[in-house]
Amino acid sequence: MKRIIMFASLLFAVGNSFAREITANLSCCAFSTADSKSYVETYISIIGNSVTYNKKPNGKYSAAVDVVMTFTSNDSIRSAQRYILNSPEVDDSSKAVNFLDLQRIPLPAGYYYLQVSLTDLNRQPQHPISNKRSILVSIDQDSVNLSDVELLDNYYKSTTQGLLTKSGYDLVPYVSSFYPPNLSQLSFYSEIYNTSKVLKPEEKFLVLYYIESAVNGNKMSGFSSFIKPTPEKVIPLLFSFNVTSLPSGSYYLVVEVRNASNRLLSMHKTSFERFNPGVIYKLDDLAAIDIANTFAGKIKNGDSLVDVIRSLRPISSSSEIEFAENRIKAGDIKLMQQYLYNFWLARNEPNPQAAWDKYNSEVQRVNKEFGTQIMKGYDSDRGRVYLQYGPPDQRVVMNEEPSAYPYEIWQYYSIRNNPNISEINQPDNVTQTNKKFVFADFDLVTNKYQLIHSDARGETRDDNWKLRLVKRDNATHSLDQQNGNPQYGGHSNDWYTNPH
């Protein structure tokens, strides 16, 4: 039960610049004590350069974040904490460092909602940023159980007992589920409970841990191991994989507990993503790719290949787009087939066709809904956003609002860069929460909606988007004031604030 979230504040205009975003990662894991009392650990990592540092009387600088954390169940608050999370002191506010918080909250088995609110106390005005997630604590006292799996940034033999100490080690949590190219090690910690209750003394059992593809469930070759311990009340597990050769893709880290007869007693899966462009995918070496009897080899028409390859642009890196266009210009059918196959081989080595089939079905959907007579749906702004981030969680469609161009507002409860994209513009690839996209149809005929505003990182931003929507009937009037009343384009502001 691993939950990864990111908090991102709204941007506030200051002259011609914008305030920085407060950015944090949160994860949590359920464990049990030796006397079978369950608890949840929460880990918050604040991105240092996203908060405000103030000078202290000693001449050093520090940041302070107000944290409010509540666990509710059946509409009742079961636990609540409020505290100030202070950063380490630094000599120069421009040399901010990330800082970490760990809390342990006793909670019995059950289903909970965790709500966390963060406020940068050194920034004015103060706007708390909050997020809500569900959590299941499911440790059974009478059967063999695994705790949740805690991903680790590092671990050390402990010399003194501290907040990070567990089972004789200081465990530094890795508060993310994304592994970029510079990380070569995937380390994790878990615990097995109650084997001494269920199994006979000295009866050896099997603990398997491995990495499997999230797409097709295949075990990744070279990424599995096992141990054969004997029963204990609590058995700590601390392992690592070298992921230098693990290709880009979406995966599960799996831990299994099996008895001597190979019967599964407990299993836990933790999802993660790997971005590793140096493995498998080589833009300058397609000639060796064998496309015989593959989905790519079956597409023999040049125009169809061009269309298919261009449909990949929403999830392609800039270097891939440039390389693909060069292959299209060359007009070599086989090279285009090899490029298409290698594109998906890099994203799902065990089953590239499954990855292609899934994406292609989405392309057909956006072509049908967002295409025009002269433009494919994947080339439209709505199609690009859909293919890059997936279908929106909320979609408002307003075609006949007085005084406004037709518009749509899409809301995503959380978005990440699409794991198929081989170029990560966000260094930590953290999840962005509660992001909106506003599209408008200014020509009223072609279904060509333009993206005119988004608060998502790296997207088009225009804080005057509401005024642009109402220029349809107000081209010769003041857009800031009409008949003494502000003009904001009907209900667009309401829909943006609370889409449903």
Tens digit of each residue's pLDDT (9 = 90 or more) over 195-224: 999 999 888 999 999 998 876 677 887 899
Contact 337, 291 (CB under 8 A): yes
Q: What is the spatial distance between Cα 453 and Cα 440, in angstroms, rounded to a whole number? A: 9
What range does the domain containing 368 cover? Answer: 302-378
93 pLDDT higher than 90: no
Residue where a domain stops, chosen among 264, 279, 294: 279
Residue where a domain stops, chosen among 80, 108, 137: 137
Q: Are residues 22 and 127 in the same domain?
A: yes
Whether residue 289 is contained in a domain is answered as no
Q: Are residues 80 and 65 in the same domain?
A: yes
Q: What is the spatial distance between Cα 441 and Cα 450, in angstroms, rounded to a whole number? A: 6
Count, residues in the chain: 500
- Contact partners, residue 494, CB within 8 Å, separation at least 6: none
Within 10 angstroms of residue 429's Cβ, the number of other Cβ atoms is 19
Instruction: Convert 9-21 into a string of H (helix), E (strand) and C (coil).
Output: CCCCEECCEECCC
- Give me the amino acid identity at 362: E
Tens of pLDDT, residue by residue over 13-31, are 222 223 456 888 888 999 9
Closest of 209, 284, 267, 274 to residue 244, by C-alpha: 274
Whether residue 319 is contained in a domain is answered as yes
- The pLDDT of residue 406: 92
Which pairing describes strands 178-179 and 264-274: parallel, antiparallel, or unpaired? Answer: parallel
For the chain, count helices (H), then strands (E): 8, 27
Whether residue 343 is contained in a domain is answered as yes
Tokens 């940068």, located at residue: 120
Q: How many domains does the chain have?
A: 4
Q: Are residues 470 and 493 in the same domain?
A: yes
Q: Look up residue 473 and give its two tokens.
A: 């009937």
- The pLDDT of residue 473: 54
Q: Are residues 327 and 418 in the same domain?
A: no
Mean pLDDT of the chain: 84
Q: Are residues 25 and 118 in the same domain?
A: yes
Q: Are residues 354 and 404 in the same domain?
A: no
Q: Are residues 460 and 476 in the same domain?
A: yes
Q: Are residues 125 and 145 in the same domain?
A: no
- Give me the amino acid identity at 84: I
Whether residue 290 is contained in a domain is answered as no
- The pLDDT of residue 44: 93
Q: Are residues 456 and 373 in the same domain?
A: no
Q: Are residues 339 and 413 in the same domain?
A: no
Q: What is the spatial distance between Cα 224 and Cα 138, in angstroms, rounded to a whole number? A: 26
Kindly list the distances between the CA atom of residue 348 and the CA atoms of 91, 179, 395, 411, in Å, as whole numbers in the listed order: 46, 16, 31, 29
82 pLDDT higher than 70: yes
Q: Look up residue 481 and give its two tokens.
A: 């004031």
- The pLDDT of residue 289: 73
Contact 191, 236 (CB under 8 A): yes
SS3 at position 358: helix
Residue where a domain stops, chosen among 330, 352, 378: 378
Whether residue 385 is contained in a domain is answered as no
Whether residue 246 is contained in a domain is answered as yes
Q: Look up residue 339 and give its two tokens.
A: 């490029």
Tens of pLDDT, residue by residue over 443-484, are 887 888 999 999 888 788 898 898 888 865 554 444 344 443
Contacts 24+ apart (CB under 8 A), 452-457: 455/10, 455/11, 456/412, 456/415, 456/432, 457/8, 457/21, 457/425, 457/426, 457/432
Tens of pLDDT, residue by residue over 251-266, are 899 999 999 899 999 9
Q: Are residues 234 and 325 in the same domain?
A: no
